[in-house]
Amino acid sequence: MTNKLRVGVFGPHGRMGGAVCELVSASEDFVLVVRIVEPGQSGGAELAAVDPTGLDVVVDFTAREAIAANSGWCALHHVPWVLGTTGLNTADQLAVRAAAERTLVFAASNFSIGVALLADLAARAARVLGLDADVEIVEAHHRHKRDAPSGTALTLAHAVAHARGQDLNHVRRDGRSGLCGERPRGEIGLHALRLGDVVGEHEVQFAWAAERISVRHEARDRKVFALGALRAARWLAAAKASHLHGLFGMSNLLDG
């Protein structure tokens, strides 16, 4: 194939960065142009030395501490940016939005198509059931994960809250302990498990008078996230023909 998508990967030595590099290298649709490493690291090029003109898109699963530098570089050089970093604080989120005013940004807490469908199903259930249903979200990840609840669990919680016309910040409860009293109407509970080498599990439970349903997703290999990120990269490359900038997410993939 002559028109391969030229990809740069931030953090190629990380779990996700390594998985993305492996898939790109084995693909007939992409070519790995550069591995972008932190200052002092080997096995790639530091950001200041990267030629942006040779890139169609960059994929980023680095730690949130790199957001400021990475977002600024992508915005300055108008390089489309696929971002999968979670645990972002307010300043990080503002940096992402600022970058989206100058280039194309595809940000997601989870690049699994299955999780995107899970969020869509949870939102539909929340709209139908309303505030009469109690909602609990349970997530499990490997013992090395740094943030909790997971970004995906928060995405699911936001989807449910939005569908019910709620502000998640006003109804969210992370875990329970002690004499916490009766469960308030409309509360959304989040619970995080950290176990061994679990790749990622998310479940949204709804319960109301005499009935209970749950929707659940399990990722068995982190390659599903890398595959989803490359699908997002392909989507950004196509979107570049009609968009100069903007912030996009997994709903755009579901919508086609």
Does the annotation mark 217 as catalytic?
no
Please say if 77 is a catalytic residue.
Answer: no
- Contacts of the segment 235-243: beta carbons below 8 A, 24+ positions apart: 235/106, 236/57, 236/80, 236/82, 236/104, 236/106, 237/5, 237/56, 237/57, 237/80, 239/104, 240/80, 240/104, 243/104
d(CA 148, CA 139): 9
**Catalytically annotated residue among 141, 158, 202, 217:** 141
**Dihedral through CA 46, CA 48, CA 66, CA 84, nearest 10?**
-80
**CA angle 222–223–226, rounded 5-degree value:** 105
- The one catalytic residue in 78, 145, 162, 245 is 145
Cβ atoms of 124 and 163 closer than 8 Å: yes
Q: Across 99-187, where does the E strand assignment appear?
A: 104-107, 134-141, 172-174
Q: Which residue has the tokens 């505030």?
A: 131
Q: What are the strands, taking DSSP E only, across the chain? A: 5-10, 30-37, 45-46, 57-60, 81-83, 104-107, 134-141, 172-174, 188-194, 200-208, 211-219, 246-248
Please give the structure tokens belonging to residue 21: 């590099």
Residues marked active site are found at: 141, 145
